[in-house]
Structure 1
């Protein structure tokens, strides 16, 4: 789309500590900080017979990332993804488990046996960048657990059964054995575990540990179940959701001096006639700020308690057969100012949590995930199976039924690449340590003459065209380096870097660079659904550089405004052409910045291609940091169509470029925002790296 073409168409939270808010393009050399380290799917040499490395491509569970507070970017850590950048190793002995858990390198450690800890009570000192995951339901840690010390970060403990260090006496300080203890750790995800019958705590979050998520665990048969605090500071941020507390006496959890504690959709159950009787359920202590919502309490004594110094806001909880204290008071915080989530209906919580909590047979096992996967390699120096990316794509069978992973070695590949519509389930992944290491680049523009005659047109100018459903592109750069200044006589300066014309396209950890029309997200045809999820990426451009009729989410990314070819500052971030009754472009939890003049860029304008009166363009920008480059009136008419007749809005944006509600700056209400979240855009599709 050119500005000339547009004018001729008249025939019509995050909060400030977010690590994504960095200076781009001046700091684009730091782009690798958003990349998840080294290659995704290639593994090292350190494999042994007893601790063997997987050589297939990484399955989804090995690349899983946390939600809740563990997903927040802070303390120099961008969310929680554990050891997904490292080798996958399978362990069956304590020696091997300890070897890999205490190593300095990232690992995905699959526990595929029952490991009896020696001595009883042994807590392995886990180091940063680890995923420790049970192989289906086979991974048991008996008589011990894990310790995460000061500064340890980016750790996932998942799908394990940790049990039976109990020595016969509750509150026995000689046997202070925990399942999982953290002292000063951050960005920790505890998920889908079965934790029971330990001598002390099942989970202890202590001494300013923060950015923790505890989800989908079974916690049972214990006295001191889940403690949070042991500090005078008010620092801990923690999310606790979809956990089943059953036959646990106290600390369910006890939360002391937590800055933000968000508990939702938990099921707390005390069954009559059993040996363990609950003393209390959720407890907000000290100076804790707690939000407790849509949880279900059955048979609990003192289900909800609070200190006079603490705050506790209750919303939508259900209490059946409970007795004693049930308290609330004060004001806390809005969890959605930190991260997105959708709470289940409270009535559904018991059945949903009982059926879903604890280890899953689908997590930690490789057979189903990798047996049908095919891996192709591309290397510019000829050391791979193919020397160009297009040659590897050409080798994918038509209508392939299962995942094909194309691993692209570091280098600069000058070629125009297309993933055709009849080749779905393709993953293109750069294997370098940074997304900057692998670059796909071409310099076509819409008005250029193609070999054989005719011009490229806007979609045809794309460096990378994705026309197949269920395509993933990860950990690389896609660039259109068309030189607009040197081609002023050319009619048609649109120069697309990346084009999508498909559904379920996942763009993860990319740098997408151009000037005009950088990222075009369309559908395969009018009326078709074309969902795109862009995550942890950089998008650079100036005129309408995020555009199209697709249903597109840009999440946790940096959108960088670039000067025009002549050094001037002016442009538009988005140009949606959304069809009626579809979702358009959603930008969330991101940053918009760049080395351009203040007040020089619009957030978007409404594109009605060819004067089409049936489209209903939509852009929502929410919980995003906007630099001073954004105009105080951030939306613009286009082609004679008033933007106010279409769908443009903001919600809780921050930064110098943000502004309060006015007729020229629509803001969503909280109720409206609840219907404009990532899940509303993606529907039944949950993008996962695979």
Structure 2
């Protein structure tokens, strides 16, 4: 069984290899280039598009140099299949930038690094912390990603001396951030759906995405919608008993009427039955007035979710029962209601207000 790092290396480019295999004898279609239908440096879609290819067939061989060159707003990076190791920061002055995985299969194009919260800073001034561990940080408004994998392959088993085991694949802070057909791989704190400040209600939309992890692996204070997504909880060899972790850990600001919304999605697991909680609220020290909000509706919850007690409290001072947690029309063994008080359900009339349109307002990335 390969390690996570080995698996990522094997996945990157696998789809491309299939795509350029020998054609059938009766047809000789043109061999597709590294950028597929997205043009190339010689057939540039527009002046704002840059091409990245590790083998030198684009404008840049790495994503960081392409991002540095993509000054201004509304630029596009078309990224050829490959594994691109290193951290990236999409600054606020790159508004409207789009990242596209050229093959159309997120497994082929992987942005990955291996920092953790406990990783020492290069200057020796301490450790990186949770935010500093992110492989990709997005502060720009209007960021869009398609068909890409964002990963953090730091492993607890390789670093038993670490106490800061949070390892973020991506931290998203910009308003109107959209992800289509993307994958997010990690363990603890995989996907950090955040905002730029306590008073900024950043809107995010995830469609047809895959997210995996173990502890609080979808977390933060953003107004975020996951539509038709797949959440996968992982087996843990370092723990002998349940719970292994928590899927969601929202930290919604008290003044924000909308937190996390999950709909038409599914939660599966590689772990034994009932070894995961669906969520727990996060009230961080930086915002003790946070009022975490999560709605999971019209989704399938697999056996990995503890149906009897699907929620837990992160702090005794902020019990989950005092937060804005709700469900509606979920199915599967993890959605079975045994004690109604432990599974707060929306009424049909209340559920009408828990929709992407209500969460995202005048921004319609799902249209």
**TM-score, normalised with respect to structure 1:** 0.46
Kindly indicate whether the alpha-carbon contact (under 8 Å) linking 1:40 and 1:429 is maintained by their aligned counterparts in 2. Answer: no
Which of the residues 245, 261, 284 maps onto 1:609?
284
User: What SS does the corresponding residue of 1:528 show, helix, strand or coil?
Assistant: coil
Q: Distance in 1 between matches of 2:287 and 2:149?
A: 34
Cα 1:39–1:684, aligned 2, differ >3 Å: closer, same or farther?
farther
Which of the residues 375, 378, 384 maps onto 2:49?
375
Residue 667 (str. 1) matches residue 316 (str. 2)? no
Cα 1:44–1:619, aligned 2, differ >3 Å: closer, same or farther?
closer
- How far the C-alpha of 1:43 sits from its partner, in A, is 2.8
User: What SS does the corresponding residue of 1:422 show, helix, strand or coil?
Assistant: helix
Runs of 4+ in 1 over 4 A off after TM superposition: 37-42
Q: Distance in 2 between matches of 1:532 and 1:39?
A: 32
Residue 639 (str. 1) matches residue 315 (str. 2)? yes
Kindly indicate whether the alpha-carbon contact (under 8 Å) linking 1:39 and 1:430 is maintained by their aligned counterparts in 2. Answer: no
Mapping of residues 72-221 of structure 1, within 5 Å: none
- How far the C-alpha of 1:491 sits from its partner, in A, is 2.1
Cα 1:645–1:408, aligned 2, differ >3 Å: closer, same or farther?
same
Residue 652 (str. 1) matches residue 329 (str. 2)? yes
C-alpha offsets along residues 402-430 of structure 1, whole Å, 9 cap, x if unaligned?
Answer: x2110000011111111111111110111
Q: Distance in 2 between matches of 1:594 and 1:375?
A: 39
* Number of the residue aligned with 1:686: 364
Q: Distance in 1 between matches of 2:269 and 2:361?
A: 32
Kindly indicate whether the alpha-carbon contact (under 8 Å) linking 2:93 and 2:140 is maintained by their aligned counterparts in 1. Answer: yes
Cα 1:423–1:39, aligned 2, differ >3 Å: closer, same or farther?
farther
Q: Distance in 1 between matches of 2:349 and 2:234?
A: 35
* Number of the residue aligned with 2:25: none
Which of the residues 392, 395, 418 maps onto 2:66?
392
Q: Distance in 1 between matches of 2:179 and 2:104?
A: 17
Which of the residues 518, 522, 530 maps onto 2:194?
522
C-alpha offsets along residues 18-37 of structure 1, whole Å, 9 cap, x if unaligned?
Answer: xxxxxxx9xxx9xx99xxx9
Cα 1:688–1:557, aligned 2, differ >3 Å: closer, same or farther?
closer
* Number of the residue aligned with 2:155: 483
Kindly indicate whether the alpha-carbon contact (under 8 Å) linking 1:404 and 1:427 is maintained by their aligned counterparts in 2. Answer: yes
User: What SS does the corresponding residue of 2:290 show, helix, strand or coil?
Assistant: coil
Q: Distance in 2 between matches of 1:408 and 1:433?
A: 10
Q: Distance in 1 between matches of 2:287 and 2:229?
A: 31
Residue 531 (str. 1) matches residue 166 (str. 2)? no
Residue 425 (str. 1) matches residue 99 (str. 2)? no
- How far the C-alpha of 1:543 sits from its partner, in A, is 0.3
Once superposed, what is the RMSD of the aligned Cα atoms? 2.4
Kindly indicate whether the alpha-carbon contact (under 8 Å) linking 2:34 and 2:53 is maintained by their aligned counterparts in 1. Answer: no
Cα 1:649–1:382, aligned 2, differ >3 Å: closer, same or farther?
same
C-alpha offsets along residues 100-144 of structure 1, whole Å, 9 cap, x if unaligned?
Answer: xxxxxxxxxxxxxxxxxxxxxxxxxxxxxxxxxxxxxxxxxxxxx
C-alpha offsets along residues 396-454 of structure 1, whole Å, 9 cap, x if unaligned?
Answer: 22xx24x2110000011111111111111110111124211111110100011121223
Cα 1:384–1:56, aligned 2, differ >3 Å: closer, same or farther?
closer
Residue 620 (str. 1) matches residue 292 (str. 2)? no
User: What SS does the corresponding residue of 2:50 show, helix, strand or coil?
Assistant: strand
Mapping of residues 187-266 of structure 1, within 5 Å: none
Number of equivalent positions:
331
- How far the C-alpha of 1:486 sits from its partner, in A, is 1.9
Q: Distance in 1 between matches of 2:226 and 2:64?
A: 26
C-alpha offsets along residues 615-653 of structure 1, whole Å, 9 cap, x if unaligned?
Answer: 100111100000011112211111221111110011000
Looking at secondary structure, tell me which structure has more strand per residue: 1
Q: Distance in 2 between matches of 1:376 and 1:387?
A: 11
Q: Distance in 1 between matches of 2:262 and 2:67?
A: 30
Q: Distance in 1 between matches of 2:348 and 2:255?
A: 21
Cα 1:567–1:613, aligned 2, differ >3 Å: closer, same or farther?
closer
Residue 436 (str. 1) matches residue 107 (str. 2)? yes
C-alpha offsets along residues 528-574 of structure 1, whole Å, 9 cap, x if unaligned?
Answer: 12111011011000000000001111110110001225265611001
Kindly indicate whether the alpha-carbon contact (under 8 Å) linking 1:39 and 1:431 is maintained by their aligned counterparts in 2. Answer: no
Kindly indicate whether the alpha-carbon contact (under 8 Å) linking 2:253 and 2:287 is maintained by their aligned counterparts in 1. Answer: no
Query: Which runs of 5 or more structure 1 residues have no equivalent in the other structure?
Result: 1-24, 46-54, 58-369
Cα 1:636–1:688, aligned 2, differ >3 Å: closer, same or farther?
closer
Q: Distance in 2 between matches of 1:404 and 1:39?
A: 21
Q: Distance in 1 between matches of 2:118 and 2:175?
A: 28
**TM-score, normalised with respect to structure 2:** 0.85
Q: Distance in 1 between matches of 2:284 and 2:228?
A: 29
Residue 580 (str. 1) matches residue 254 (str. 2)? yes
Cα 1:565–1:44, aligned 2, differ >3 Å: closer, same or farther?
same
Q: Distance in 1 between matches of 2:346 and 2:196?
A: 31
C-alpha offsets along residues 244-263 of structure 1, whole Å, 9 cap, x if unaligned?
Answer: xxxxxxxxxxxxxxxxxxxx
C-alpha offsets along residues 356-400 of structure 1, whole Å, 9 cap, x if unaligned?
Answer: xxxxxxxxxxxxxx6xx6100111112211111111111122xx2
Residue 415 (str. 1) matches residue 86 (str. 2)? yes
Q: Distance in 1 between matches of 2:227 and 2:359?
A: 12
Residue 544 (str. 1) matches residue 221 (str. 2)? no
Which of the residues 466, 471, 482 maps onto 2:138?
466
Kindly indicate whether the alpha-carbon contact (under 8 Å) linking 1:420 and 1:467 is maintained by their aligned counterparts in 2. Answer: yes
Cα 1:507–1:565, aligned 2, differ >3 Å: closer, same or farther?
farther
- How far the C-alpha of 1:465 sits from its partner, in A, is 0.9
User: What SS does the corresponding residue of 1:381 show, helix, strand or coil?
Assistant: coil
- How far the C-alpha of 1:678 sits from its partner, in A, is 1.1
